[in-house]
Structure 1
Amino acid sequence: MDTNPTLGGSMGKYTEQFKLTAITAYLEGSWGFRKVAQHFGIDFSLLRRWVAGYQVDACLSPRSHGRRYTEEFKRRVLKYMLEHRLSLRQT
């Protein structure tokens, strides 16, 4: 287990190794988000976001900033969200 979860400084960002360790513990274990997050001393919603991002991208690297979506794309996403009764997080 990564015993130094932050990069240092006051921002509190977690290392990719720490994130991967927590994600792996959730995916390969029998504990739920809350139990794994408690074990690693992080908020369960943070772990849930890490896992969801990992499952979509199969990596931890952040997406490039400044990505712009067209109005048409945004409308299609909202329509899909409403049709399938999904939350913003699920969408």
Structure 2
Amino acid sequence: MDSNVIQQMLKHEKHKGDMMLQKIFTEDYLNGVRKKKVGQSTRNYVKGSHPVIISPEIFDKMQEEMLNKARLLRTADGNQISGGNRYSS
């Protein structure tokens, strides 16, 4: 399996038994153009919608660890340093 596929699986809230509804919307009904919602309207988060695969505590710790690793930068000699928020202006 590709590492990107596994990473996407680890980010999905369904593994802890929750579900995010209405993630996308149809922008143009005639052409069928669908887009991700980014503030256009509210999304609904349903807790405990189905049986859990991984406990919510472990899932939340995993999300925190993935965020911490995303903030690490590598120097030219291979050492890791904290880069803070990589996406700040």
Q: TM-score, normalised by structure 1?
A: 0.29
Which structure has more relative contact order (CA 8 Å, sep 6+)? It is: 2
Higher strand share: 2
Higher helix share: 1
Work out which of the two has the higher radius of gyration on C-alpha atoms and give 1 or 2: 2
